[in-house]
Amino acid sequence: MKIIPYILIIVFGLFTGCNVNSYTFDENLAFQSLEKQAKWVHRYPGGEDAPICRQFLRESLEPYCDKYIEQDFTETVKGKELELKNIIGIINPKADKYIILASHYDNRPFSDKEKTIGLRQKPCPGANDGASSSALLLETAKVLKAKKPKVGVIIALFDGEDYGKDDDSMYIGSRYFAKHINDICEKKKVTFGILLDMIGDKDLNIFIEQISNKTAPKLVEKVWDCAKGLGYGDSFIPKVKYGIYDDHISLIEEGIDCIDIIDFDYKYWHTSHDTSDKCSPQSLKIVADVIIEFLYSDIE
């Protein structure tokens, strides 16, 4: 993802609407998944670790979904043909409406934010940037399988989000997914999407993302209200701080409201130091609790 300059910071009032319940989410298992993915530092499109990472994601997701789909496609980037794969699981597919929960699972094949020039050609391990949100969704699928929400849930793990240095060579998997949403379900049944990205940071501070607040303010309010009700107001901060160009834009451009839950105050972003030791099981639990609480609430 990349940051969009934004100056105005807005604080808004939150409204009630989520019941505080507890659901089983094993943050330690989620963290083990994060660690495993982060060790595959060549899991970017075309990387030698991509097949084994994809197989792991399939084995971790498919048993907990009512329907499992892989989107295989090719994309030519800067003259190089890439083979990509989006990994998708659907829970409660007979529901009248759907919610998309999304993450990217690829990592960045270089570390362009490194201060040391010699480290910039090393892959970014992507423990927080990619592995954290994917690990969270894999573990969340188990909770949703055990107790299905009223809505259908599409868990989408995107490939190729972080591949290149410009917009044309990034967000590849989410663009393909959004343009082919009718291959997954009827587009008109999709109520909205929630993108998770960089949510494993030990020092978790999730501000409201600018574009999310502009396109889906009620959804933002309700999610942040769930966080407040669960006692996570210190981590989900009700202020708009950043505008981020991320995978949620692909859905928005296809007419699907989508918000980005992201902690962009992460100094290891796009460096070779984005490793598992910078992340925390507790951060995964905080975000998962909010998402699960929201999914079992009354969703309009």
**Angle made by CA atoms 114, 117, 121, in degrees to the nearest 5:** 75
Share of the chain above pLDDT 70, in %: 92
Token output for 249: 């834009």
- 121: pLDDT strictly greater than 80: yes
Q: What is the pLDDT of residues 252-284, one digit of tens each?
A: 999 999 999 999 999 999 999 999 999 999 999
| Residue 255 CB neighbour total at 10 angstroms | 11
**298: pLDDT confidence band, cut at 50, 70 and 90?**
confident
The β-bridge partners of 152 are 98
The H-or-E segment that residue 206 falls in is strand 206-209
Query: What pLDDT does 230 receive?
Result: 97
- 126: pLDDT strictly greater than 60: yes
For residue 240, give the nearest of 257, 229, 258, 224 by alpha carbon: 224
Q: What is the pLDDT of residues 59-99, one digit of tens each?
A: 999 999 999 999 999 999 989 999 999 999 999 999 999 99
Burial of 161 (C-beta count, 10 Å sphere; 0-12/13-18/19+):
buried
Query: What pLDDT does 153 receive?
Result: 98
Fold of 2-295: Aminopeptidase (3.40.630)
- Neighbour-count burial for 100-109, b at 16+ CB within 10 Å, e otherwise: bbbbbbbbbb
> So where are the chain's domains?
2-295
